[in-house]
Amino acid sequence: MTKPIFMWAGGKSKMIKHYQQYFPQHFDTYIEPFFGGGAIFLEAYKINPNAHFIINDINSCIINIYKSIQSDYGCFLKHLNKVSDKYLSLNKVDKKTYYYDIRHQHAFDYKNWSGTKEAATLYFLMKTGFNGIWQINKNTNGRYGTPVGLLKNFVYDKDNLDGWNKILQNNITITSKDYKLLFNNKLSNNTWTFLDPPYRGCFTKYGIKFDDDEQKKLVDFSNTMSNYDESWLCNRIVGEDNFFENYIKQQQYSTKHILYFDNTYTAGRRKKTDNGFEAKKVKEILVIM
């Protein structure tokens, strides 16, 4: 079974068991403007592989990985295996040094690389970096700067990448643009939109600003997309301000469901407690319009 190709903070793999009973069973177009690891896309593809899929993320580096797997897979694997094989041949101390050498090259030498080499190198870093976190640093030229991970003797699952390559050969459009521009696509009246933006109060900022004003604009966008059938918007609950519920009520938007689910974040930083560091428990909201 095909799975997301990398861990992504805020990814929806664990939420599928909660969402599944609400999945639309009939749609001609699926749009996911904040793609990340694509867990819900994979579920939508299983429901209707003949639909038109538009997958997008403002992070062009992430999108470049998917584009390379889609259209230059042989060269992608060649570059990926070159760095992976070297990494796996080293002891832990040398693995760590190698990781930071490759991260430095990715930060400062990429302009001399092909897009596919850049994508494969970034994919290697994401698979060997710390716990699914996307971090950009000044000392990495404003590019991927996540620290090294657990230095395991494993990098990636080729069978899973093969599955993605096969899926991406179908009727799938891959873009990297502001989500609002996706509305310019010619949409059917049977479109499912899934919106999974940077969460309110989230440590991981994904290199973009997404404050409460942006969250409100996204609710507006979700309401607009609901005119094309069904739009989903998920986020997390912060405090007790009922942010999304109050804004929806203020704007007099209609909803099919407002649902709440408990979740535990295992990616990224863990909460310090008297019993050590524990995964953070949160409550998530799903608004179906």
pLDDT tens per residue across span 201-254:
765 545 567 889 999 999 999 999 999 999 999 999 988 889 999 999 999 999
Identify any residues that bridge with 278 across adjacent strands, giving them in sequence order. Answer: 271
Distance separating alpha carbons of residues 55 and 50, to the nearest angstrom: 15
As a whole number, the mean pLDDT across the chain is 91
Output 84-89 pairs: Cβ under 8 A, ≥24 positions apart: 84/124, 84/155, 84/156, 87/124, 87/128, 87/155, 88/153, 88/154, 88/155
Go through 198-213 and write b for each residue having 16 or more CB atoms within 10 A of its CB, e for each that does not.
bbbebebebeeebeee
Helix axes 158-167, 73-88, angle to 10 degrees: 170
Burial of 3 by CB count in 10 Å (0-12 exposed, 13-18 middle, 19+ buried)?
middle
Of 138, 162, 156, 244, the C-alpha closest to 200 is 244
SS3 content of the chain, % helix, strand, coil (to 5): 45, 20, 35
15-42 tens-digit pLDDT: 999 999 999 999 999 999 999 999 999 9
Q: What is the pLDDT of residue 267?
A: 54
Q: Model confidence at 115, in pLDDT bands (50, 70, 90)?
A: very high
Burial of 66 by CB count in 10 Å (0-12 exposed, 13-18 middle, 19+ buried)?
buried
Distance separating alpha carbons of residues 267 and 246, to the nearest angstrom: 29
Query: Which CA distances in Å does 217 have to 43, 106, 159, 181?
Result: 27, 34, 39, 13
Q: Are 116 and 253 in contact (CB under 8 A)?
A: no
Domain with CATH 1.10.1020.10 in the chain: 67-158
For domain 67-158, give the CATH superfamily: Adenine-specific Methyltransferase, Domain 2 (1.10.1020.10)
Neighbours of 103 (CB within 10 A): 25
Q: What is the pLDDT of residue 19?
A: 96
CATH number for 13-58+177-288 (one of 3.40.1390.10, 3.40.1260.10, 3.40.50.10360, 3.40.50.150): it is 3.40.50.150
59-104 tens-digit pLDDT: 999 999 999 999 999 999 999 999 999 999 999 999 999 999 999 9
DSSP 8-state secondary structure symbol assigned to residue 177? S
Say what the pTM is.
Answer: 0.91
